[in-house]
Amino acid sequence: MTDELRIARTYYVSGSVQGVGFRQFTLRAARALGVAGYAKNLRDGRVEIYAIGPPEQLKTFRQKIELGPPAAAVWEVTEEPAQLLPRYGGEFSIEHEGW
């Protein structure tokens, strides 16, 4: 897939989204859709998700993260355009903030 067909977005997910398997859920959803990037917990209780993929896949991906896993309660998902970072172009992973 060429970069012209892919875009990048950063999502910030608020709610009860830490300690409930949200990042693992995101990893499975991303891999199922062929979305690359990462998910990581932030100190403020949100989850940050950086995602690369075709616009239609990212639309479906956002719909999935708006629901989250059964143990989560997603209150809000904000979305920002992001730069295509080649480092994350191949697969989806879970990253750690390093607190």
The backbone torsions φ and ψ at residue 69, rounded to the nearest 5 degrees and listed phi first, read -75, 165
Annotated active-site residue in 41, 43, 46, 62: 41
Q: Are strands 92-94 and 36-41 parallel, antiparallel or unpaired?
A: parallel
Considering the candidates 23, 28, 62, 87, report the single residue annotated as catalytic. Answer: 23
**Active-site residue, 28 included:** no
d(CA 21, CA 4): 33
Any catalytic annotation for residue 23?
A: yes
The CA-atom distances, in angstroms, between 11 and each of 1, 18, 20 are 22, 15, 18
The residues annotated as belonging to the active site are 23, 41
